[in-house]
Chain A
C-alpha cells in the first residue's frame, strides 16, 4: 500500500470538498422542504412569493358583482343585459381583462368578430350535451359575411327584441 492509492483518494476528497464548498455558496439559503417532505416539496421558499407577486389582469367579482361594477359607468349596457340569456357571461370574456379599467386600459376591446359568437352558437349535433340547450346556427349559412352584432344585440340577444 504505497503512494498511488493515497494520491487518487486525495484527488477524490479534494473534489468532494470542492463541490461542497461550491454548493454552500451557490444554493440559496432558503432552500428546504415543506411539510410534504424532501420528495415532493424540496424548493426555494422565496419562489412561492414570486408566484404570488404575478400581476393580476382579470377582475374577480363573480358574475353578479361584475355587472354591478361595470354598471357604475355603463349602466345603459348592464340594464339591457338579459339575465336568462347572456347574463351568465362575464363582461370580461368578450371585452378582455379589466382589472384596472378605466385607468389601464382606458378603453376595453370590442370584439365584433363572428368567431366570438360562434364559440357557443355553432350548431353541433350533440343532443346529450349541455351545448344542445344553446340555440345553434350553421355559420356557413346564417347570414355569411355579416357581423352577428349588426343584427343581434350582444347584451340582449332576445329575438323578440330585435
Chain B
C-alpha cells in the first residue's frame, strides 16, 4: 500500500469511527432545537386574553435591567377605549408597568379624561413589543453595522459597536426602540435571547397569567403555537410598510397599528 493510500484510508476509518460515537452521546432535545439553524422565532399575542395587569412589562424590565423610573420599555401594553359616541382613546401610562389601576385615560402632558362608564362601547388591551421584522428597516439604516438580524430571526443591537446616533429609533415604524438611559446605546426587545437560546420562554411569556403571549419556532409546523398562526385568523401591525413583522396578533382592530 502506498503511503498516500494508507493515509486516505486511515482518515476514512477514523472519521467513520467517530460518527457513531457522537451519535451515541446523550443530548437534551431542547438544546439541539435551540442550536438548530433552521429555527425562526415568532411571537403570538392574543388581545382577547390580555387584562392589562402589566406583569409582562414588570418581568421584562427586571430580567433585562431596564430602569423602572425611566419612560422607556422594551414591551408595553396599550389600552383602547371606544365610546358609544364614536370617540377613540388610546393610552399606555408608563408602558403599563404598574398595570391599569385607573379608569381615566392618560392624555399626556398631565391631562386626563374620565369616561362615563355608560358611554364605554368596547375596550381592550393590546400588548406590544418589537416585531422582529423579516425585513427590518432599523437594521438597514444603521451606519456602523451595530444592529442586525440573527439567522434565527431575532433583531439585536451590538452594545459595544452602537454609537448612539438614534437613526434606528427613528426608522422603526412601531416605536419599539429607545435610547437606553444607562447603557447609552439604542436598545430594544431581544426576545430574551439569553433565555430562548437555552430552551426557556421569554420573561414576558413566562409572566403572563392568562396566556396572552406565546412564542414559537415558526419553522416547526408541529408546534401548537405555529399551528395557531397557520390555521387561525391572525394579523400583523402595519402590514403595508412591507416590514414582514414576526409578531402575530389575534383580535386586531383597525386602530391598533
A residues at B contact (CB < 8 Å):
31, 34-36, 39-44, 47-48, 50-60, 62-63, 88-90, 92-93, 96-97, 115, 118-120, 122-131, 134, 139
CA distance A55 to B49 in the complex (A): 30
- Assess whether A40 is in contact with B98, with CB atoms less than 8 Å apart: no
Contacts of A129 in B (CB 8 A): 51, 123-125
Find A119's partner among B101, B139, B147 (CB 8 Å cutoff).
B101
Find B201's partner among A55, A62, A89, A130 (CB 8 Å cutoff).
A62
Given contacts A41-B150, A43-B148, whether A56 and B209 have CB atoms under 8 Å apart is no
Find B100's partner among A39, A40, A97, A124 (CB 8 Å cutoff).
A124
Given contacts A51-B193, A60-B200, A62-B201, whether A131 and B51 have CB atoms under 8 Å apart is yes
CA distance A52 to B152 in the complex (A): 13
CA distance A118 to B101 in the complex (A): 6
- Assess whether A120 is in contact with B99, with CB atoms less than 8 Å apart: yes
- Assess whether B194 is in contact with A93, with CB atoms less than 8 Å apart: no
CA distance A126 to B62 in the complex (A): 29
CA distance A62 to B202 in the complex (A): 11
Nearest A residue (CB) for B52? A131
Find B203's partner among A48, A58, A127 (CB 8 Å cutoff).
A58
Interface residues on chain B, size class: 35 or more
Nearest B residue (CB) for A89? B209
B160 interface hit (Cβ, 8 Å): yes
- Assess whether B151 is in contact with A35, with CB atoms less than 8 Å apart: yes
Contacts of A89 in B (CB 8 A): 55, 209
B236 interface hit (Cβ, 8 Å): no
B35 CB to nearest A CB, Å: 11
Q: Is the contact region of chain B dominated by helix, strand, or loop, or is it mixed?
A: loop
B117 interface hit (Cβ, 8 Å): yes
- For B54-87 the 0/1 string (1 means CB < 8 A from A) is 1100110011100000000000000001000000
- Assess whether A92 is in contact with B125, with CB atoms less than 8 Å apart: no
- Assess whether A40 is in contact with B148, with CB atoms less than 8 Å apart: yes
B184 interface hit (Cβ, 8 Å): no
Contacts of A119 in B (CB 8 A): 53-55, 98-101
Apart from the given pairs A39-B139, A40-B139, 20 other A-B contacts in the complex at a CB distance below 8 Å:
A42-B145, A43-B145, A43-B148, A43-B158, A44-B160, A47-B159, A50-B159, A51-B193, A53-B194, A58-B62, A58-B207, A60-B195, A60-B200, A60-B206, A119-B54, A122-B103, A124-B100, A129-B51, A130-B210, A131-B52
- Assess whether A42 is in contact with B49, with CB atoms less than 8 Å apart: no
- Assess whether B81 is in contact with A126, with CB atoms less than 8 Å apart: yes
Contacts of A131 in B (CB 8 A): 51-52, 125
- Assess whether B148 is in contact with A41, with CB atoms less than 8 Å apart: yes
CA distance A40 to B194 in the complex (A): 21
Given contacts A39-B140, A41-B148, A60-B201, whether A51 and B123 have CB atoms under 8 Å apart is no
- Assess whether A128 is in contact with B122, with CB atoms less than 8 Å apart: yes
- Assess whether A93 is in contact with B55, with CB atoms less than 8 Å apart: yes
Nearest A residue (CB) for B96? A119
CA distance A131 to B98 in the complex (A): 15
Nearest A residue (CB) for B197? A52
